[in-house]
Amino acid sequence: MARRNRTDRRTADNSGAVASPHVKRRLPYFNPLDDAELQQIEDHVDWMIENVGVAFRDDPVALDIWRKAGITPGGEHGDLIKADAQWIRSLVAKAPQSFTQVARNPERSVTIGAGNQIFAPIYGAPFVRDLEGGRRYATFADFEKLVKLTYMHPHLHHGGLVIAEPTDIPVSKRHLDMVLAHMTLSDKPHLGAITEKSRAQDSVDMIEVLFGKEVMDAHADEGRVCIMANVNTNSPLLVDRVVTEAIQVYSGRGQAMIVTPFILTGAMGPVSTAASVAQAMTEVMMTCAFSQLVREGAPFVMGNFLSSMSLKSGAPTFGMPEPVMSNYAIGQLARRLGLPLRCGGSLTASKIEDAQAAYESADSMHSTMLAGSNYTLHAAGWLEGGLATGFEKLIMDADRLGSYQKVLDHALVIDENTLAKDAYAEVAPGGHFLGSSHTMRNYQTAFYEPALSNSENVESWEEAGSLDMRQRAFAKWNDMLEQYQAPALDEGIREALHDYVARRKSDLPDAWY
């Protein structure tokens, strides 16, 4: 996908009319571990694969897939998979190092891997918070607003899926409304449901309605996908039916899977960061190998969500040194393994958009950027350890993502223009460059200007109402929603999607679990 020039990026508004490309990284990765240290971790991963194993529980079909590959499940429950580590690595090598997720608007398609970085919003919070409504259970009306804001913001490249849980819709049916909303209110790529096999199948069936079966098959045959799904292992070392059935549905159809171990060190993994990193690698490699047994060449993203915790209260902590270092380590290991990476985000334990949220989110997101996360879920909107989606936080985080994009795209351009020889011919010693020809040529693109930051003098700030950033973000997202216009969609496709949802809802009982 062609990158827009810097002028396009600076002048793009939030109307949603201008496509938001993924970031083509030019900044070098931060690689703190040397080859010997990386090899030591990899040797430990191989030891775990061969001697400890990973349980694939509650899915007889998954165990049969392993048996057909020559593996006999063992352990107390007859579901523990151990295998030759080099064979597992050979299976992992069949997954592509990069792939494209096609959006219904081709200009918004994203390439995951190969040095690209994609930012997506928070996923899975049951609560929302904003300055006017406070903290509350999320409704479908909240969800629709968040989909629209994500669609409109140029620094969010991907829609994710559960930007907040619409708790006013039965669990058995809400996946249909969420997927439909992403397909009709936005034209950015998005994820599908995973919580139950039929819900995963509904997501794949709906994307087939959106794209057409022949088009979807053609994309899959050429290594492109129309939908991805994100699922967590049940750490430590347990892959449950939700994971294996999602892989069977998505990978089996040639679509992409993100599998992410969720590890709080000291609880779902050893208290030492190195051991938890190795455990995460073990879980990912075993699930990736399984995906390749389901369909060779199916795209797979290696996920990592490793956080520290308070050993006094058990609460997760974010932006701390240990998860920051785990991001760097997992980035190096992913590149050696040859898999695209998902990690990090703008994470915080804070309940509101305060100084704690700013510090923790910045440390977490900065390490995410330097580590080389190819797909970053939770890049914007995360509050309260992931329990709440903040409307203001979404806009504040996304505003900062623009600065990361410029850094990743190598903000220090060195050429004849940027070295500015002609400017020194105009400006004498002790003078200023404000009116020079060089400044006038470059002033529109010289610096990144965050939309929400206020750099005026205190008098101007007070005259404008002394608004802090939360208040400015509140005004911003409300103004964006007033300007929202839905992207065009063929009416025949829209009708077919609504018909599918109505038919499936009539087949499903209301269930709240």
pLDDT value of residue 233: 97
Q: How confident is the model at residue 1 (pLDDT cuts 50, 70, 90)?
A: very low
pLDDT value of residue 411: 66
Assess whether the previous peptide bond of 321 is cis (omega < 30° from 0): no
pTM for the model: 0.94
pLDDT value of residue 309: 87
Pairing of strands 54-56, 238-239: parallel
Tell me the CA distances in angstroms from 203 to 104, 125, 199, one per residue in order: 15, 20, 6
List the single range of 85-89, 348-352, 412-416 with lowest mean pLDDT. Answer: 412-416
Burial 44-53 (b: 16+ CB within 10 A, else e): bbbebbeeeb
Check whether 464 has a pLDDT greater than 60: yes
* Cβ-contact 98, 116 below 8 angstroms: yes
pLDDT value of residue 21: 67
Residue reference for tokens 């089996």: 252
Q: Is the dihedral of CA 42, 47, 48, 49 positive or negative?
A: positive
Q: How confident is the model at residue 3 (pLDDT cuts 50, 70, 90)?
A: very low
What pLDDT, in 10s, does the model give residues 102-155?
999 999 999 999 999 999 999 999 999 999 999 999 999 999 999 999 999 999
Residue reference for tokens 């950033």: 469
Check whether 16 has a pLDDT greater than 80: no
pLDDT value of residue 412: 83
Which candidate, 287, 372, 327, places its Cα nearest to that of 112?
372
Check whether 10 has a pLDDT greater than 60: no
Report, as an integer, the average pLDDT of 485-496.
98
**For the chain, what percent of residues have pLDDT higher than 70?**
96
Domains in the chain, start-ordered, CATH in brackets? 22-411+448-513 (3.20.20.480)
Q: How confident is the model at residue 317 (pLDDT cuts 50, 70, 90)?
A: confident
Report, as an integer, the average pLDDT of 340-345.
95
pLDDT value of residue 22: 79
What pLDDT, in 10s, does the model give residues 187-209?
999 999 999 999 999 999 999 99
**For the chain, what percent of residues have pLDDT higher than 90?**
87
> Chain-wide mean pLDDT for the chain?
93
Report, as an integer, the average pLDDT of 301-308.
93
Q: How confident is the model at residue 174 (pLDDT cuts 50, 70, 90)?
A: very high
pLDDT value of residue 9: 35
pLDDT value of residue 275: 96
pLDDT value of residue 19: 41
What pLDDT, in 10s, does the model give residues 38-49?
999 999 999 999
